[in-house]
Structure 1
Amino acid sequence: MKVVAAYLLALLGGNAAPSAKDIEAILGSVGAEADSDRVSLLLKELEGKDILEVIAAGKEKFASVPSGGGGGVVVASSGGGGGAAAPAAEEKKEEAKEEPKEESDDDMGFSLFD
């Protein structure tokens, strides 16, 4: 990832075609080591391609990846009494919200200025 970041920084800096030496110089300036194999692989893969098109294509692919967020769990009831579980769950949520906040939670038990 750091190799890609260094490549993009070189592009942002005005270098239309960053070389391996440019990428290694950027990484070296912040004390990071550049893996020459990864640098050469990146340059080989991006040779002759427009970086904006590559980013757009990657963004489209990334949009189809599930991220694990979103909706809640749906519980199917298989018999009588299943309808009572939903109000009980709502009551628990309300109780959790009403808990008083302790003063020590604000500063995690210590003060920075003590």
Structure 2
Amino acid sequence: MKHLAAYLLLTLGGNSNPSSKDIKKVLSSVGIEADNERLESLLSSLQGKDINELIAEGASKLASVPSGGGGVAVSSGAPAASSGAAAAEAKAEEKAEEKEESDEVCVLFCLLGG
């Protein structure tokens, strides 16, 4: 995602065809080291494609992805320090992180025309 984010920032800044060097410069400016293999894979996937068309295509695909979430019920009657409540909270947090990772993969997949 970091490589794609840098690519998108560069295109928003007016660079319609960011190079590997451009992306590495953006990432290094915020203390992130680029993964050469992933970067080259991204650039080869995007080569010759218009990013605005890919985003529009991806947005239409995302519209069909179910995004309803199951809420977690929390009882206010139990003490906050109980191990059951702490376990439920940890599990809910873990599910939220998994959903976030899944959403990132879906966005990337859709942007790349998958």
| TM-score normalised per structure 2 | 0.58
Encode CA deviations 1:36-57: one digit per residue, 9 max, x unaligned: 1111111101111110110011
Identity %: 62
Shift of 1:22: 0.5
Counterpart of 2:20?
Answer: 20
Aligned counterpart, 2:43 = 43
Q: Give the whole-Å Cα distance in 2 for the aligned partners of 1:33 and 1:10.
A: 17
Deviation of 1:69 after TM superposition, in Å, equals 4.6
Residues 11-30 of structure 1: CA distance to partner in whole angstroms, max 9, x if unpaired?
A: 12221210001001100000
- For normalisation by structure 1, the TM-score amounts to 0.58
Q: CA RMSD in A?
A: 1.6
Structure with higher RCO (Cα < 8 A, 6+ apart) = 2
Which 4+ runs in 1 deviate beyond 6 A?
none
What pairs up with 1:60-75 in 2 under 5 angstroms? 60-69=60-69
State the alpha-carbon separation in 1 of the partners of residues 12 and 52 from structure 2: 12
In structure 2, the gaps of 5 or more residues are 71-75, 77-114
Q: Aligned pair count?
A: 71
